[in-house]
Structure 1
Amino acid sequence: MDILVFGGTRYFGVHLVNELIKKGHHVTIATRGMTPDSFGTSVERIHVDRYDINQLKDIFKDKEFDIIYDNLAYSSQDIETLFNSLHCHRYILTSSNAVYPFQLNTKEDDFVAAHHVLKMGVRSSFSYDEGKRQAESAIVQLHPQQKTTRVRFPVVLGKDDYTKRLYFYVEHILKGIPMYIDHLTTSFSFISSHDAGAFLAYLSDKDICEAINACSPQSITLQEIFDYIEDHTGKKAMITSDGDKAPFHDIQSHSLNVEKAQNIGFHFTPLSDWLFPLIDFYICQISEDEHNI
């Protein structure tokens, strides 16, 4: 298939592109050209600003794709900018569990984009969670004939996580840096960056035209993460009211139900099989950096 990917040069987008290449698809990555990639001659590249409708119309006016993967839509206007410029048989949007209220065992029907009040606006018009709701709503309400899959991820973690959210905890505990977080019993779902990319690619030949959750089926508390780091470093977390505000601060417990994804045959990596090795990787990385100072 002829596939176009927006957001394929970093993080889980890299894993998506690699998996699509393995599947034998013809892959084009749309990029501003600011982030180098390692795909070599395995992909085609088009330099374009995803958010510039004039560029999109000019570059893609004579092109049509079997699938467009969009990892870069954060608002209703982002959807309209793309759909007024490109044509595809199927559109796969990377969405988020942020569209849901915070709750455990969240199922896809707990947010129905068709019923959400649609408001047109750019990314800065909305909070992150509302922007994702608006992106989904624009697709469903303004383009009901378009075959679309909306993939809802929780927090994505991996060695390539440029936000360094998990790294923050390991670094602060290992270096004895005070941090502030209110509820260590908060429980989360996560997905590895590898699984995120692999699941998106898996959908390339699956006729799923609806919202679908994706994550490791288990959840974990911050206390369990802290306990593991402390046990494996001999260091104790320093939690103070004036410490650095930690990632996931003031977020309620939530998890995703992934029965729909499992029923189409995808097997997510168990949380403990990748999260704890990732913590070990960060411990070694930070320890080596400290030793080399």
Structure 2
Amino acid sequence: MKILVVGGTRFFGIPMVNALLSAGHDVTIATRGNAKADFAGEVKSVVFDRTDSDSIKRALSGLEFDVIIDKIAYGSNDVKALLENVTCDRYIQMSSCSVYHEDHADIREEEFITKDHPLKWQDRLPDYPETKRNAERAALEFMDEASCTFVRYPVVLGENDYTGRLRFYVDHIRSGSPMYIDDCDRAMSFIHEKEAGEFIAYLADHPCDGAVNGCSNGVIKISEIIDYAEKKIGKTAILDAAGDAAPYNGLTDTLSFNTDKARGIGYTFSDLGDWIYGLLDNCNACSVLC
């Protein structure tokens, strides 16, 4: 199939593109032209500003695609600028589990119904959850829901995570820097970068209508992350209300997501415990090297 990937040159976009290439797809990458990646195969490329409808129209004129994977849909106007200038049989949007309104365990896709959300044509907002809700809803102005897939992930972690969220804990323990954690016993789900990319690629060949959650099986408490890092480093974390605010503050309940829908199309996610501690070891090693 001919697949247009909007974004995809860093983090879990790289294993996603590599999986598409491995499956034999004809892949075109659309970027602003500032980033390049070493993919495991040949890809075509186009350059445009995804916030500029005219720029997209010029770049994609005469091109046709079976599938569009939109990895950087950050607002309804982003989606409008793209989909008013290109057609496809299936549109896969990288959304977010932040579209859900309440934190709790085993959140299901139907807890946020895309078509019921009131659409506002807006640029990227400081309110990230609302931005992503609008981005999902905007797609339905151009395509049937049966032709759209909205991939909802929790926090994505991995060796190439440029945000440094997991490493925050390791670095603070190693350096003896105080950190503020609002609830050490709050548990949450994650997904590994490789699986995050590969699942989206899987969806190109295994259509899934509407929203679909993706995350590793199981949850981990912040206290478990800290305990493991303390033992590996040989130091005790300094917890202080005046310390640096930890990345995962603000949860109101255990946060996990039901993946029955993904399993229904044949995809089984890994267990969180199979990789999270190895990733913490990697964070520790990087801290030593740095």
Q: TM-score, normalised by structure 2?
A: 0.96
CA distance, structure 2, for counterparts of residue 251 and residue 8 of structure 1: 29
Q: Deviations over 1:9-41 (max 9, x none)?
A: 001111100100111111111111211211276
Match of 1:44 in 2: 44
* Structure 1 counterpart SS, 2:35: coil
Match of 1:113 in 2: 114
Shift of 1:247: 0.3
Match of 1:136 in 2: 136
CA distance, structure 1, for counterparts of residue 279 and residue 41 of structure 2: 31
CA distance, structure 2, for counterparts of residue 145 and residue 114 of structure 1: 8
CA distance, structure 1, for counterparts of residue 195 and residue 234 of structure 2: 31
Are 1:274 and 2:275 matched, yes or no? yes
Are 1:27 and 2:41 matched, yes or no? no
* Structure 2 counterpart SS, 1:235: coil
Match of 2:231 in 1: 231
Are 1:87 and 2:59 matched, yes or no? no
* Structure 2 counterpart SS, 1:33: coil
CA separation of 1:41 and 1:257: change in aligned 2, threshold 3 A: closer
- Unpaired runs of at least 5, structure 2: none
* Structure 1 counterpart SS, 2:51: coil
CA distance, structure 2, for counterparts of residue 96 and residue 74 of structure 1: 10
Counterpart code for 1:25:
H
Q: Decide whether the 8 Å contact of 1:151 with 1:214 is kept in 2.
A: yes
Q: Decide whether the 8 Å contact of 2:21 with 2:41 is kept in 1.
A: no
Shift of 1:144: 2.8
196-205 vs 112-121, greater mean Cα deviation: 112-121
Q: Decide whether the 8 Å contact of 2:18 with 2:41 is kept in 1.
A: no
Q: Decide whether the 8 Å contact of 1:4 with 1:27 is kept in 2.
A: yes
Are 1:210 and 2:210 matched, yes or no? yes
Total equivalences in the alignment: 288
Q: Decide whether the 8 Å contact of 2:145 with 2:210 is kept in 1.
A: no
Shift of 1:50: 1.7
Match of 1:71 in 2: 71
Shift of 1:145: 6.3
Match of 1:192 in 2: 192
CA distance, structure 2, for counterparts of residue 174 and residue 8 of structure 1: 33
Q: Decide whether the 8 Å contact of 2:15 with 2:198 is kept in 1.
A: yes
Counterpart code for 2:65:
F
Match of 1:123 in 2: 124
Shift of 1:48: 1.5
Shift of 1:251: 2.0
Coordinate RMSD, CA, aligned: 1.4
Shift of 1:59: 1.3
Q: Deviations over 1:172-217 (max 9, x none)?
A: 1111111111111111110000000010011111121211000002
Q: Decide whether the 8 Å contact of 1:29 with 1:45 is kept in 2.
A: yes
Q: Deviations over 1:51-82 (max 9, x none)?
A: 21111011112111011100111111111111
* Structure 1 counterpart SS, 2:172: helix
- Unpaired runs of at least 5, structure 1: none
Counterpart code for 2:9:
T
Counterpart code for 1:262:
R
Q: Decide whether the 8 Å contact of 1:91 with 1:146 is kept in 2.
A: no
Are 1:255 and 2:256 matched, yes or no? yes
* Structure 1 counterpart SS, 2:149: strand
Shift of 1:263: 2.0
State, as a whole percentage, how many aligned pairs show the same letter.
42
Q: Decide whether the 8 Å contact of 1:217 with 1:257 is kept in 2.
A: no
CA distance, structure 2, for counterparts of residue 145 and residue 202 of structure 1: 19
Q: TM-score, normalised by structure 1?
A: 0.95
* Structure 2 counterpart SS, 1:217: coil
Shift of 1:127: 0.6
Counterpart code for 1:283:
N
**Stretches (4+) displaced over 2 A:** 140-146
CA distance, structure 1, for counterparts of residue 118 and residue 112 of structure 2: 12
Q: Deviations over 1:105-144 (max 9, x none)?
A: 10000110111121111103x5100011111112235533
